[in-house]
C-alpha cells in the first residue's frame, strides 16, 4: 500500500492540487479524494488502468460499451418505419413523434400551464382540445382521416390511424 500524502516541508499546499479554500464543492471533493488516497508504489508493480462496465472489463475505453450501458434500449415500435424513413418530411416526422409522446401544446395543456386561452377545440369549438380529440375524436378530423383513407394519399404502409373511426 502506498503512503498517505503529507505536505512537503515548508509548504501548506501540494503542487497541482487545488487549495483547501476553493469555492466549488466538486473541486473540494476532488481535492479531498486526491489527498485521502495513497500514492501508487512502484514496488507493487506498474499502475494498471481498466475500464469496468457491469458485465465487461477491458484494458481500454470503449465508447460503444459505454453508450450501451448509459442508454437503455427500448423495444422497436411497429410504426417507427412509417414515420422515420429516408424520404420523410422532418417537420411531419417530428410532429408525429411529439404527438406520440403527448407533448403537443394543445389548448388543454396550455390551460394547465396557466396560459389564458379557451380550452375548446380550435376545429369544432365544442369539446376540450386534447391530443386524442384533435386527431381522432373531432368530427372535422374524422372527415379528414376518411378523405385520406378513401383517396389512399395520406397513409404509409403499416400505419393505420383510422382504426378508431
37 within some domain: no
pLDDT at position 151, please? 66
**Higher-pLDDT residue of 161, 6:** 6
Tally Cβ neighbours within 10 Å of residue 121.
22
Helix, strand and coil content of the chain, in percent to the nearest 5, comes to 40, 5, 55
Structural domain including 131 reads: 80-151
Average pLDDT, the chain: 78
Number of compact structural domains in the chain:
1
- Residue 35 CA to residue 162 CA, distance in Å, equals 66
Cα–Cα distance list, 50 to 46, 65, 106, 148 (Å): 13, 13, 50, 58
* Predicted pLDDT at 119: 92
Average pLDDT over residues 114-140: 93
In a domain, 51, yes or no: no
Segment 121-144 mean pLDDT? 92
Burial (CB count <10 Å: 0-12, 13-18, 19+), residue 103: exposed
| Residue 137 domain flag | yes
In a domain, 100, yes or no: yes
| Mean pLDDT computed over 86-91 | 90
- CB-neighbour burial class of residue 54 (10 A; exposed 0-12, middle 13-18, buried 19+): exposed
SS3 35: helix
Q: Dig out the grid coordinates for 143 from the structure.
A: 372527415
Residue 165 domain flag:
no
| Secondary structure, 3-state, 46-107 | CCCCCEEECCEEECCCCHHHHHHHHCCCCCCCCCHHHHCCCCCCHHHHHHHHHHHCCCCCCH
- Residue 25 CB burial class (10 angstroms; 0-12, 13-18, ≥19): exposed
Is residue 39 within 8 A of residue 2, CB to CB? The reply is yes
Q: In the chain, what percentage of residues exceed pLDDT 70?
A: 78
pLDDT in tens, 12-23: 555 555 565 667
Residue 45 belongs to some domain of the structure: no
Q: Is residue 36 part of a domain?
A: no
Residue 28, in any domain of the structure: no
Over the stretch 3-61, which tens digit does the pLDDT of each residue have?
555 555 655 555 555 565 667 777 777 777 777 877 777 787 877 777 777 777 777 77
Q: Is the pLDDT of residue 72 over 70?
A: yes
Amino acid at each position: 500500500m502506498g503512503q498517505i500524502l503529507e505536505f512537503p516541508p515548508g509548504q501548506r499546499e501540494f503542487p497541482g492540487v487545488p487549495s483547501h479554500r476553493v469555492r466549488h464543492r466538486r473541486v473540494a471533493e476532488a481535492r479531498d479524494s486526491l489527498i485521502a488516497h495513497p500514492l501508487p508504489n512502484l514496488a507493487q508493480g506498474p499502475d494498471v488502468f481498466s475500464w469496468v462496465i457491469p458485465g465487461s472489463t477491458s484494458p481500454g475505453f470503449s465508447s460503444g460499451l459505454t453508450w450501451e450501458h448509459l442508454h437503455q434500449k427500448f423495444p422497436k415500435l411497429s410504426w417507427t418505419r412509417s414515420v422515420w424513413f429516408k424520404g420523410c418530411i422532418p417537420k411531419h416526422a417530428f410532429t408525429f413523434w411529439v404527438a406520440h409522446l403527448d407533448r403537443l401544446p394543445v389548448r388543454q395543456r396550455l390551460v394547465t400551464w396557466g396560459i389564458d386561452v379557451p380550452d375548446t377545440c380550435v376545429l369544432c369549438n365544442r369539446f376540450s382540445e386534447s391530443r386524442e380529440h384533435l386527431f381522432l375524436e373531432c368530427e372535422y378530423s374524422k372527415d379528414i382521416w376518411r378523405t385520406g383513407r378513401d383517396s389512399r394519399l395520406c397513409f404509409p404502409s403499416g400505419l393505420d390511424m383510422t382504426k378508431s373511426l
